Amino acid sequence: MQSTKLHFDSALTPKGWRQDVTVSVAPDGMIASVETGRAEGVIHVSGIAVPAMPNVHSHAHQRFMLGLAECAGPGADSFWTWREAMYGFALRLSPEDLEAVAAQLYVDMLKSGFSVVGEFQYLHHQPDGTPYDEPAEMSLRCLAAAEAAGIGITILPTLYAFGGFGGQPPVPGQRRFINGADRFLRIVEALSRKAGPQTRVGISPHSLRAVTPELLREVIAALPEGAPIHIHVAEQVKEVEDCLAFSGLRPVEMLLKEFPLSDRWTAIHATHMTAAETEALARSGAIAGLCPTTEANLGDGIFPATDFATARGIIAIGSDSHITVSPAEDLRMLEYSQRLRDRTRNALAAGPGRSTGRSLYDAALKGGARSMRQPVGMIAPGYRADVTVLDADHPLLAARSQDAALDSWIFSGGNALVSDVFVAGRHLVQDRRHIHEETILRNFRNALRRLDS
């Protein structure tokens, strides 16, 4: 790629909002400079440029069951009945299907303003549980999908060995997920060999139910220093009860006791915490990877975001089951959950007079970049040119600029306000259309047809 210059009417930079901004992008996709004024030969995109958002938690395969799990079952529906339905879908996906579903999902992510995805990938084996000849087959399909869509990816193959606390055997529905340390590390190695400049490789121990501390320590010892580690924790009350019954500790307590947490770790959900756990998780430097629309859809509970913020905890957001794919909607749901619980307003604004949308956006950019271990989250030299552009001509932005425009996007307009998205300076979404939209959509439709038959 050649170096390019992108010009925006306004942009959110580390120094605040700036008008009439030219961003110079080096051939490697990194930002070389950010200047005021419009030079010759720039690509002009009218609108409001903000750093694109990282999406730290994705299970791509779940995208194809959305809309199919919203009917009431014979008894009380819960996370656990939903999980049964999800396993049924997951058992049918072939490698081709996963690649097609993931590519469409990643296009949808880009069109909503995300530029990096953390893929927590636990479908490893053939439907009958036999490993593929290439044990990393399914995760490699996610890398191929990310490349086709152009999105950055932090691939997090899932370590899943057991069906419950204390090394219980897995259930038949989990047969595609299961690996011991050796085969799991072969998956990590295969992914590392294939990793391009927009890829990072980490791991995702599924949960404290699915690994033992001994197994996880063995795997971590074999990883490159600093490789990111994501784990589901304390999403469900039953998980807290099972953990207490097994160990006498709550899940977040157990995680903090067994491992030296740091910003290398992302605790996904961390919904059910005591005040002491909230404080200790914040102090550890681990990122809380929140998935507010999925957590609402699954009836998980409410994350203690105001207390976590007071303790200077770092948050990031993810679309998880992809019931919605929208940074705006996830940030909105996060804020609204606190308002509904506390009967208050502007719960997560960073202080008096500060915009709530801006406070949430800044926090999730910083935590998201850290969680993904990617050089993103700022329109500034040395960062990758991942930029989301809001359509300044949209009626909702007619008389809005700067933080008020961000608040209008997050609380009112959502995805409809995103017009253009760049990743590493590549103009992937142009006036609401992805550059490979037709091909990727055709493959997705074909996969759904195969899965329906």
Query: Annotated catalytic sites, by residue?
Result: 269, 320
Angle at 302 between CA 296 and CA 308, to 5 degrees: 135
Looking at the Cβ atoms of 201 and 231, the one nearer to Zn ion is 231
Contacts with Zn ion in 75-104 (CB under 5 A)? none
Percentages helix, strand, coil for the chain (3-state, rounded to 5) are: 40, 25, 35
Alpha-helical regions (H) of 52-94 = 79-90
Nearest approach, Cβ of residue 193 and Zn ion (Å): 26
Pull the structure tokens for residue 38.
């419009």
Nearest approach, Cβ of residue 62 and Zn ion (Å): 8
Give the number of residues in contact with Zn ion, rule: CB under 5 A: 1
At what angle are helices 95-112 and 137-149 packed, to 10 degrees? 40
- Report the helix count and the strand count for the chain, using DSSP H and E: 14, 17
Looking at the Cβ atoms of 159 and 424, the one nearer to Zn ion is 159
Site string for Zn ion, 264-303 (x = CB under 5 A): ----------------------------------------
Nearest approach, Cβ of residue 320 and Zn ion (Å): 5
Strand boundaries in 52-151, DSSP class E? 53-58, 114-121
Nearest approach, Cβ of residue 332 and Zn ion (Å): 20
Looking at the Cβ atoms of 13 and 81, the one nearer to Zn ion is 81
Listed as own residue / partner, the contacts of 214-217 with beta carbons closer than 8 Å and 24 or more positions apart are 215/159, 215/161, 215/180, 215/181, 216/159, 216/258, 216/259, 217/259
CA distances from 279 to 252, 274, 349, 423 (A): 11, 9, 19, 35
Chain position whose Cβ is nearest to Zn ion: 320
Looking at the Cβ atoms of 58 and 408, the one nearer to Zn ion is 58
DSSP state for residue 164 in the 8-state scheme: B
Site string for Zn ion, 223-262 (x = CB under 5 A): ----------------------------------------
The Cα–Cα gap between 139 and 64 comes to 17
Looking at the Cβ atoms of 156 and 397, the one nearer to Zn ion is 156
Nearest approach, Cβ of residue 298 and Zn ion (Å): 10
The contacts of residue 72 (CB under 8 Å, 6+ apart) are none
Nearest approach, Cβ of residue 235 and Zn ion (Å): 8
Looking at the Cβ atoms of 119 and 320, the one nearer to Zn ion is 320
> Which DSSP helix (H) or strand (E) runs through 420?
strand 418-423
Contacts with Zn ion in 308-327 (CB under 5 A)? 320
Residues binding Zn ion (CB under 5 A): 320
